[in-house]
Amino acid sequence: MIHVFFPEVMGLLRLDEIVGLEMLSSDAKIIGNVEAVGVDTEEWTARALRVALRKGLEEVAGLKKPLFGQARFGIDTKNVKSVRDVVTLKEPQDKLKGMIFEPSHIPRYAGEVVYKRVVCCKGREIGVTGTVYIDPDGGWKIPFIEVEMDKEVFNEMNLKKSIFKRREVKVPTSLIGTVGDLIMLNTGEDELARIIEKTPR
């Protein structure tokens, strides 16, 4: 039997609640906008953000001004102080150059694990991933992925209808064994149903 610890849902943000936010330096200057979140799917942690730099800050950031569009950079989530209506960095704007790196060094983005088919360890297809839930205040951990369950599988699991009015459920990332072309869980349907019934809604 798999034992799963459920973190408090308060404070968790969906991926779409982070992507698009403005990034500010600690001295309240706009740096740019978050475009993507880099993730480690072994540890299920958000490691970095990809940011579109505000035009005119290329020299401050030490980046070459592109012929078209905006310059982009990666920044470690360890350099982020807080995430609410904006993403605030721990350092002022004049320290930006020392914090950023080439975004091509980010191996995988959270967007790459959404809209993937999910199968249990016995090969049964469970559904398709939606968003991921990120805890910026808790070390940028990713405790859950949202899965829109296949209607037939959902009905077979006999999940409590009073609680589960929709087929979107939070699946703990601790149940994910492998991420490839599909996402393979390390548990079967029966155990998954018991765990899902205990997950926060």
Instruction: For residue 162, name the pLDDT band (cuts at 50, 70, 90).
Output: very low
The domains found in the chain, sorted by start residue, are 13-109 (2.30.30.240), 114-198 (2.30.30.240)
d(CA 182, CA 133): 19
Residue 144 tokens read as 């859950």
Model pLDDT, residue 1: 45
Instruction: For residue 3, name the pLDDT band (cuts at 50, 70, 90).
Output: very low
Q: Each residue of 107-134: pLDDT tens digit?
A: 999 999 999 999 999 899 999 999 999 9
Q: Each residue of 63-72: pLDDT tens digit?
A: 999 888 899 9
Model pLDDT, residue 192: 86
Task: For Cα atoms 64, 70, 72, give the angle at the middle one, nearest 5 degrees.
Answer: 70
Please report, for residues 5, 48, 186, the alpha-carbon distance to residue 78 in angstroms, rounded to integers and kept in the order given: 24, 8, 30
Full-model pTM = 0.88
For residue 161, pLDDT over 90 is answered with no
Residue 15 host element (H or E): helix 15-18
28 burial via Cβ count (<10 Å: 0-12, 13-18, 19+): exposed
Residue 97 half-sphere exposure toward CB, CA atoms < 13 A: 9
